[in-house]
Structures are given as C-alpha cells and as structure tokens.
Chains A and B, each alone.
Chain A
Amino acid sequence: MSIVGQAISRADGRLKVAGEASYTADIAIDGALHAAIVPSVIANGRTVSIDVSAAEQAPGVVAVFTWRNMPRLNPTPNPWSHLHPHGQGYLPLQDDAIHYAGQPIALVVASTLAQATYAGTLIEVDYAERTPAVFGPSSVDEAFDPPQFLWPVNSSVGDADKGLAVAAVRIEQTYTTADRHHNQMEPHATTAVWSPDGSLTLYETTQHIFGAQALVAIVLGVPPEKINVVAKFVGGGFGGKAYVWPHTLLAATAAKRLGRPVRLQLTRANMYSMVGRQAATIQTLSLGADRAGRLTGIRHQSISPTSVYDGYIEYAALGTRSLWPAAEGISTTHRIVRVNHNTPTAMRSPHEALGHFALESAMDELAYATGVDPVALRLLNDTAIDPHSGRPFSTRALGDCLKEGAVRFGWDRRSPEPRSMRDGSLLVGQGVAAAIYTHWRWPSAARVTLHADGTALVEIGSHEIGGGTYTVMRQVAADVLGMSLERVAVVLGDTRLPASHASIGSATMANAGASVMLAAKGARDKAIDLALNGRDAPFAGSTAQDVVVTDGVLTAAPINRSASYAELLAANGLQSLEGEGAYDPVEEANGPKAIFSFSAVFAEVRVDPDFGTVRMSRLLGAYDAGRIINPKTARSQAIGGMIWGVGQALLEQSETDPATGRFVNRNLSGYLIPANADIPELEVLFVDGFDEEASPLGAKGLGELTAVSVAPAIANAVYHATGKRIRDLPITIEKLL
C-alpha cells in the first residue's frame, strides 16, 4: 500500500509537543542585542522633532536610530514581485513623514528587551498632524483604477449588462467585509547576525526564505549570495509572513551598523500596524437569472483600501470570474482608495474569501427569489468550462461536493422557510455556499540523497508553517524510494538548500511536493541504473521497468534477484547517491486547462432571538482538492480553515477610530478570534480525485480553499434562522437586534 494517501502523524510532532521546535525568537545567539520599535501615535503628518537624549542615556542602551541617523536604504522596484516580496514599499526611518499610526519612528537597541522598551518610552516627539484618510462610505467616491499587480484588474466576458437587463429575476446588493489581522500566535521576529566577511545570517519568521533573501539584498545593497535566511519552524503564517516588513530591514541595518547581532520581536500591538492585514471591501454584486434560476448575467464591483504609497488590490471579484457561468456575460472591476494604514497583504484566504461572501450570499438571495433550493440552484449552474478563459477545468468535482455534502449534512430535512426551524427558544438556521480557489503553479527545486547506511535525506528550501511540510515531503520521498518513513529525513527552511517557492497560495504540496517527487525519482533511478549497469550489476540483462523497490530493497522479479540501496552503494564504492528535482511547470494561465479547487460548505447556527447571539452548531466542508497526500494533516488544515471562516463570519474586525486613524483593538481581547468553546463538531469530506494538470502528485491547493465560503454559508444560515439578511461582516449581535 502506498505511503502517499495514508493518515500519517506528523514527523515533527514529538519536537512540537515537547517544546523542542525552535522558532525564531527561541534560537539563542551569543551577544545578541535587543531592539524595540517606537511607534508613531499619529496616522498622518510628520515628526517635527524627536528628542532621543534621555533614551540614549538610559541603562543598557547601545544606540537609538531615527530617520536622521538611520543608514539610507535602497528602494525596491515592483514591491509585490514574488521574487523579492516587499510588504511595504515605503522604507522605514528614511524621512520625517508619517503615513500610518504605529509606523516606526525610532528603533532603540539595548542589552535587554526591557531596557530597549523602557528607553523607547523616554523619547519625546513633536508631531505636525493632518487629518487621516480612513476607509468608509465616502471611499466609494474617492476610489480609482489601480495598476495591475497579480491578475488583470477588470474583466469582461460577453455582455453582463445585457444579461442583467434580460433577467427575469435580479439581485443587486452591496456587501461589506471588515479589515482583519492575521494574528499568528508567533509574533514576527528577526535576528540579524553579520559575519566579519560581510555575510548576513537572518533568522526570520517567514513563509518565503528566498524572497526575504532577495529583498533584503536589494534594500541593503548586499549580494544575495552573502545572505542566508533560516526559518526551521514558523508559528503560523496565513499570508502575513510572506513579504518582508519594516522590522526585518531595521534589525538587519542596525546589526550591520553596530557590528553586533540584533534581535527584534514585534509586540502583539506592533502586529496591528507595521505588518500587513486583510483589506476591508465594499462590494456591489448583481445577479440576473431566468425564472428557473439559470444565471444570465453577473456583475461584481469591489473597492478596497491601500496605503498612501502602494497600490495593493484585494481581488475580491476574482472568483466570480470562474465559479458560475452566465448566459450573456460576466464583468468584474476592482478599484482602490488611499488610506492612512500600512499596505494590506494576502491573508487567508486572500481575494476569494472576501468575494465569495458577496457572490454566495447573492446566490442564496437568488435561491429565495426564484424559489429554487440553494443546493439545486448551484447544481443547475454548474459547468465544466471556465467561464473566464473558456478552457475546460482540469477537474471540477463541485457537483459531488454539493451532493455528498448535502447527504452527510441531512440537507433534505431542512425546511426552507426562514424562521421555520427551532430548538426550544432558539432559532435554527442552515445555509450552504460553494467555492472556487486559484491554483498556483510555481517552480521548485529539491534534492534527495541516498546514503550508504540505507537512509535518505530530502533537502528543499521550503517552510513548515503548520501545513505539515516535514511530514508530507517525507511521505512523498519514501513512497517514490520504496523506503520506510523512519529512514527518510527532511531538511527545510534555509536558503543554502535547493530553491523553492514561497509557502503561500496553498501551493506547497502541488509544487514543492512535485520537486521532491522528481528528486526522489532521480535518486531511485540512479540506484536502479547501478543495479542494471554498475559494478557486479546484480540485475544485468534486466530492464528498469522490471524493478520495484520495497522497504529499501530493489527487486527484479523476472530474474528473481534483489539488492538493497545500501548494498548497491557499497558494491559501487559510493557514500551517497543524489537525485535532483527541478519542477518547472507552465503558469496556470498559460496551460491548456483551467485549474482550480472547489468546495461546498454547509453551516448550521442557533440564534437566540432575544439576544441576537449566533452559536455554531454544525459545520461541514466537502472539498475537491485533488489527491489528498495525508488525510490526517489535510483534515487539520481543513478544520483550521473552516474555523478561520467562522472568525471572518462572526468575530473578526480591526476597527479604525476615524478621528485618529488608529486601529483601536490592538490585542487579543479587543480583536476576537475563535476560541475552543466557539467551535462545534466539524465534519470534513474529501472528494477524491487525481488532477494530473495541477501537479504530478495529483494534488490541488487546499489550505486557503477551506476558509472560503464559510462566511456566506453562515450568513445564509443566519438568514434562514432569523429572516434577516446580514450583508456586512462580521455578523455581530447588534446587527441582529
């Protein structure tokens, strides 16, 4: 039985449960100084004067940096290139301008963190303040057309306006989502260690070691080959650690100037200002359909905030281009507006999880307007052809997700009328939503080495951010090599390893995994070649097709001969045998098929009509993510994504004070994320499938998919329970009273 596809416990499990997994701030560095950031209290304006004299005299302080004495940094072209990802294009401590509250205005470096933090409080700052720009209803008038950075900004297939004009039934509504912050449990941290030869080792909380290497090289003017980035364990990413943020540049620059290692760990409050967040959106969604519910036209317009210096686009309408076809046409637009917050960034699940709230809420509204069951409406509008590109989908098991999910959920027992189901005094509601998710194809390299002792080593510059990379890469290599898991070790998270892509976009299994598979094949094939053609070749006269490997032993059945990897290496006087894997797929957009993952989410809520409280009672996700490599870790990703969606639906919002432009709830008692008691029993279904277009492993993206369409499923359930359609996330008590 293949090791791939089995529910294997995590390879790094023992380290993690024993407290032995070392995250950035856990790594002891001799002689390291500690840095603390002094944040701006205003959101817009400039510093008039910064008096650092008292701070410089404080105990333990080694240096205080402001814009006046900070070494000059190099600007980056195109900040969002995946090759050198810069979260905030505006460089820190280079001038007196203030563009957001919490922006670093000084960096204090001291012997201990307590000393640096205390000295920071002694800095006296005079500001000249201007009224901050904030996101809100007036943003609709201020929004402008942005330059493209990922996908085309606007899209138009057919004639959406005509499709809406001819429709027998029309839904046109505005839906809004809130600013949200990643709130990874591990705060961003960085430790910069320069060597006398001018090389830099950066211990960094990052989902993209090679991107950090390239970006820091540009900004600091150091050749990339002199920078080594290390991230063995990352305490949650969710997109927020994919780009380089100001603290990394500050620590590396300060360490270089001072000639001492510098560690900088963000405080929880820092995590709400100088690193990214998910942008709020204001979306207008128009659906037209015939009386039977078949879509005739779709128009999706989204507006989101960016910073004053970058043009970040939240592509909320992206999924609408491809989820449902419309007979006459589909159009989507994105505009952005400048506000005094830092640049937004990708956050699970960027683009799709926002747009699907509008699209799949509107589909529920259409179901009620036409009298068609919400599951049946979606099955009616299912398609095998991508409406956007006209290409066939590589695989699309959305119909199976809807049908199997409905059976497991007991959808046929739902009474469709709002407020028609009760549990004692509580209103019960059930809702459904479907989802489509982008599949990324990126190049990745890996190396697999067979050793003379019969073990194997997998080396790949990928990351463990919680997805189980150590575990699944070991499975993939062991499977190809025909070797037990215990004999395979995996090394990740170091730019001296073969270069892989960022661990973002749910891309690691399909792409990094493919490179490990190819590298393992390379090593195995070299061993087979030794058996066929090497010294005292035991399989001489046989062919490679006849050779199978089990438990580290190669067997050529037709000639009844076998030899272990260890024996083959020994016979040929080799200490090791290396296989290189270079996976270099064509970009998804340039391939013959449209590749996406799909899901159907079913939610059940209980609403207290007197208090407006919403409690989840059931949540089921059915997923088409291609082949599932490890059902155990995949299920964990799925429940994590579903709960992430519960947060989006019911709890999470970073609230801006319009007078000061500050996020006011900069902690985990003000910014609510789901806790254990918020979450009921969850059910996860994987609709099996092997997608050969998506990856040689057959896998499609999973991690982000699972956080999509949870919010509309819950909003639709809330409507079913209460008769109230909430089009503004999160669904908090006051909106239901």
Chain B
Amino acid sequence: MVWKMGKIHVDLTVNGQARELVVEPGTTLLEALRDSLGLTGTKKSCDRGECGACTVHRDGWRILSCMTLAAMQEGRRITTIEGLASDGDLHPLQQAFIEHDGFQCGFCTPGQIMSGAAMIEEARAGWPSAATRDLARPFALADLSNAEIRERMSGNLCRCACYPNIVDAVADAARRG
C-alpha cells in the first residue's frame, strides 16, 4: 500500500484480475468498486450495513462492501456479482434465482446472490446459525433447512419481498451443490 499525493494505492485482485485502486482514505470498498472500477452490479442502498445490497466476497467469504474501506483490501481477493459466473456460465445460484423467480425489481439481487453463494459455503464449512438447534455436533449441509436459510439470509433485505422464492433458490442451489 502506497500513499501518493494524499491518495492511497491499493493492490488487490477483483474478479480474478490484478487491479490497482487509487482511493482516498475514507473511500469505501463499495464506492471504489462502483466509481473506480465501474462494477455497478454491487448496489448502494442504505450505505450503513443494514440492507445487504452491497454484499461481495472477500477471500471467499461474504462482507458488506459499504462497511469496509477500500484501503483495507491490500492483497485481498474480491469477487463481485460480475465475477460469479465462469466463462459465461451462470453460477448455480444465479440460475436458481431465475428458475425460482427469486427477485422482482432486481436491485437487491446481486447482494442476495453473493450472500447466498457464500452462505452455502458457510454451511458446508460447518458454521451454525442462530436457527441451528443442535450446536453439539458440527453443522452439515444436509442440515440446511428452510428455517436455517431464512435466518442466514436475513441480512439481505428485499422490499419487493421475494423471500420465499429466495429460500427456494438457495435450497435448490445447495442441493445441486
């Protein structure tokens, strides 16, 4: 990380490509992605960590890009909605969102999908949630009930309120693995 003329130069990987961001100390990762890199799939909705619309992956795990500074991402691996598909093939969760109609206006959708994709990996890694009944044994992907998905997806607000379809899409993608 280098300071030049009052700006910070940050080297990081975004959607598999090495990128250099030149940002002010107070620039959020969200603003840097949208304004510096033109990756506008990540949305600004509340800008204070309440709605999940800005969810991206950092080193494979979901974070709120409005609540972290771009200057803190030196050496990190960031994935946005634009980087989730591979070679034009949609991620299984993207496909499941289409099939289960997991959205209406679509504005929260990139955040929902980034959150859901990481959430499935959290479940696979054995992470419990507030909805987990038996904490004595490791959580398994097979334990990912609809109640679990609802709890784990509650950081992503959807005002069109497609929640039941979002749950169906996540459950389907988790099953398809």
> Which residues does A use to contact B, with CB under 8 Å?
9-10, 12-23, 25-26, 28, 112-114, 182-187, 233-238, 265, 267-268, 464-468, 632-633, 635-637, 639-644, 667-669, 673-679, 681-682
Contact = CB atoms under 8 A, between A and B. Distances in A.
A238 B47 CA distance: 21
Nearest to B109: A16
A203 to B, nearest CB: 13
Interface string B30-69: 0100110011111111111011010000000000000000
B164 A468 contact: no
A265 B34 CA distance: 14
Contact of A636 (B85, B94, B104, B113): B104
Given A9-B101, A465-B105, A640-B104, A185 B43 contact: yes
Contacts, number: 175
Interface centre among A468, A674, A676, A678 (most CB of B within 10 A): A676
A18 B164 CA distance: 21
Contacts of B164: 639, 679, 681-682
B119 to A, nearest CB: 11
Interface residues of B, number: 61
Interface stretch (B120-128, B133-141, B147-155): B147-155
A16 B106 contact: yes
Given A12-B106, A17-B94, A186-B107, A236 B160 contact: yes
8 contacts: A19-B40, A19-B81, A25-B44, A236-B105, A238-B159, A633-B101, A637-B104, A668-B46
Interface in B1-56: 24, 26-27, 31, 34-35, 38-48, 50-51, 53
B51 A640 contact: no
A17 B90 contact: yes
Given A18-B84, A185-B157, A268-B45, 16 more contacts: A14-B90, A17-B97, A18-B82, A18-B85, A19-B42, A19-B110, A23-B43, A28-B38, A114-B31, A185-B160, A186-B43, A235-B107, A236-B104, A268-B46, A639-B164, A676-B166
A676 B150 contact: yes
Interface of B: 24, 26-27, 31, 34-35, 38-48, 50-51, 53, 80-82, 84-85, 90, 94-95, 97-99, 101, 103-110, 113, 131, 146, 149-151, 153-167
B161 A19 contact: no
Contacts of A19: 39-42, 80-82, 109-110
Contacts of A10: 98, 101
B165 A639 contact: yes
Q: What is the interface of chain A mostly: helix, strand, loop, or mixed?
A: loop
Given A186-B43, A676-B163, A677-B154, A632 B101 contact: yes
Nearest to B42: A19
A668 B157 contact: yes
A682 B90 CA distance: 28
Contacts of A25: 40, 44
Interface centre among B80, B107, B131 (most CB of A within 10 A): B107
B8 to A, nearest CB: 14
Given A9-B101, A18-B82, A674-B163, A668 B51 contact: yes
Contacts of B153: 676
B30 to A, nearest CB: 12
A113 B36 CA distance: 13
A185 B50 contact: no
Contacts of B81: 17-19
Nearest to A236: B105
B105 A233 contact: yes
A11 to B, nearest CB: 10
A18 B45 contact: no
Given A25-B44, A676-B150, A644 B106 contact: no
A560 to B, nearest CB: 41
A115 B164 CA distance: 41
B106 A636 contact: no
Given A19-B40, A23-B107, A185-B105, A639 B50 contact: no
Interface centre among B99, B154, B166 (most CB of A within 10 A): B154
Contacts of A677: 131, 150-151, 154
A233 B106 CA distance: 9
Nearest to B95: A17
Contact of B105 (A14, A114, A265, A466): A466
A464 B103 CA distance: 13
A596 B151 CA distance: 38
A185 B45 contact: yes
Contact of B108 (A9, A18, A114, A185): A185
A234 B157 CA distance: 17
A610 B44 CA distance: 40
Nearest to B93: A17
A633 B102 CA distance: 10
B131 to A, nearest CB: 8
A644 to B, nearest CB: 6
B85 A639 contact: no
B107 A185 contact: yes
B90 A236 contact: no
A709 B164 CA distance: 20
B160 A268 contact: no
Contacts of A114: 24, 26-27, 31
A674 B90 contact: no
A219 B77 CA distance: 49
A18 B41 contact: yes
Contacts of A633: 101, 104
B161 A643 contact: yes
